[in-house]
Amino acid sequence: MGSYLNPGNKGFQESLNSKIYVDKTGLIEKTNAALNTRQKFMCVSRPRRFGKSMAADMLAAYYARGEDSAELFKSLKIRKAESYEKHRNQYDVIKVNMQEFLSMTHSMDEMLVMLQKYLIFDLMDHFETVRFRDEHNLIQVMKDIYSKTNHSFIILIDEWDCLFREYKQDKEAQKKYLDFLRGWLKDKDYVALAYMTGILPIKKYGSHSALNMFDEFSMIDPGPLASYVGFTESEVEKLCGEYQMDIDEIRNWYDGYSFEEVPSVYSPKSVISCMRLGRLGNYWNQTETFEALQWYIDLNFDGLRDDVLQMMAGKKIPVNTGSFTNDMTTFRTEDDVLTLLIHLGYLGYEEQNKYVFIPNAEVQSEYASAVTVSQWGDISKALKNSADLLQAVWEKQETQVAEGIRLAHFETSQLQYNDENALSYTISLALYAARNFYTVYRELPGGKGFADLVFVPRKRYQDKPALVVELKWDKTAEGALAQIKDKEYCRSLEEYQGNLLLVGINYNKKTKEHVCRIEEYQK
């Protein structure tokens, strides 16, 4: 057993020893099916916090010779698979974390020299009876081992794309790295399975990909690996039962990623942290600060700022993911930025309709932090003031509410401030802080029509009043309140037992003034 060759079970054992472990060993059945086939090259890309390294540790423990892992897997799902016994501990496994080598060196050339040197050391130490043609050539060393033993390797590469994040502008280094991986892996008999994990899919350059033998499983299209991207609804429901957490609250905070095969996918790290600590909150910023998001949304593409604001207000935005070149610097259109944000986990993706959206409250808070410190004029100011504005609504301070909405009033190239729909997005941003307490519905059916905006307190905040908001354009705020009553919009909240405020807002196009009227609903 070496540092990189057959590294042992410790990594996976620590996962099993943890307070919370969700069984994802079904993934092994998928990799077993790919062994020694044309589908043996798998690149799995997911955001940080989505369990990529844990999966690599699990595969190493299952496949590697040298330690019997039967005890580890005896009560896990893979134990029931037909292929379980056939492949358990039957392969020599090379497992490397590319970030480790990148951190220990100062250039791509240094990194590749060190990587090959360390792997060759482990291989020659273990296969001491093999005669080697060239002891300094990793590819030839592995060919000689395979020729002598007829044993193929499983190669696990974690953080495969770290170079594209650290050496963002160095195209020559990137190409050299890809060429090394291709030379090491492609068309080599000694490879039984190559499984790579990272945030980005395979980098494209020129007219082809250097690693075109890999199947990609990404946040755009995870294919048959969809249920292993994050936690599924049933897995989270089980945890909520064990830890006495409210599934609706957990869903609001950490759900929102969605695939055709698995309609509900939760952020694993955040769910585990929430369950362990017994507290809802933003655990995203424990591994990455909002400045990472801020840099991308501040890029000067026409329509990008407008679309970010609309998504913050709850809208889905169309996107074309096809032009993305799978790196973090080549942005030719707004769509390239949005596609990168999908891979980073900052946006959810609806494959059927090609839409992007902000997936949940945790990620929403990252956008709010990023926009608040950005130079976005009155919008940044409005987000900072949204908590005060919400308090003004609760206290029925009509003049203060109208002034807060005025501050959030914005005009852009894509969202002209000229109808009730635009006014609705302005209100959603002005009352952004309401998302901390409410589930927000646009066009909610009720009575004889649809209420423009309805704010329903979540279970933890039943002391807050529900809000039914009706918007008018060049009419009157009093008329908005009358419509709420005449069309019985409050019938949609008949089961709600708490206080209820009716909010009417009108914008006068001529005077450019907002007027607000608020009154308590009498049941």
Is the pLDDT score of 290 beyond 80? no
pTM: 0.89
Q: How far is CA 487 from CA 482, 484, 494, 521, in A?
A: 8, 6, 14, 14
The whole-number pLDDT of residue 167 equals 84
Is the pLDDT score of 412 beyond 50? no
Is the pLDDT score of 101 beyond 70? yes
Q: How far is CA 239 from CA 84, 235, 247, 290, in A?
A: 27, 6, 9, 28
The whole-number pLDDT of residue 422 equals 72
The whole-number pLDDT of residue 420 equals 67
Is the pLDDT score of 445 beyond 90? no
Is the pLDDT score of 227 beyond 90? yes
Residue with tokens 């952020």: 267
Handedness of CA 221, 222, 227, 233 (dihedral sign): negative
Per residue in 481-519, pLDDT (tens digit) is: 999 888 888 887 877 778 899 999 999 888 888 999 999
* Cross-sheet strand order for the sheet of 191-198: 92-97, 153-158, 191-198, 41-45, 215-217
Which is nearest to 280 in space by CA: 429, 428, 458, 430? 458
Measured distance CA(507)–CA(213) in Å, rounded: 58
Q: What is the mean pLDDT of the chain?
A: 89
How distant is the alpha carbon of residue 95 from its chain centre? 25
Q: Which two tokens stand for residue 168?
A: 């963002």
The whole-number pLDDT of residue 285 equals 72
What 3-state DSSP class applies to 455?
strand
Angle between helices 171-185 and 138-149 (to 10 degrees): 10
Measured distance CA(190)–CA(169) in Å, rounded: 34
Three-state secondary structure along 216-236?
EECCCCCHHHHHHCCEEHHHH
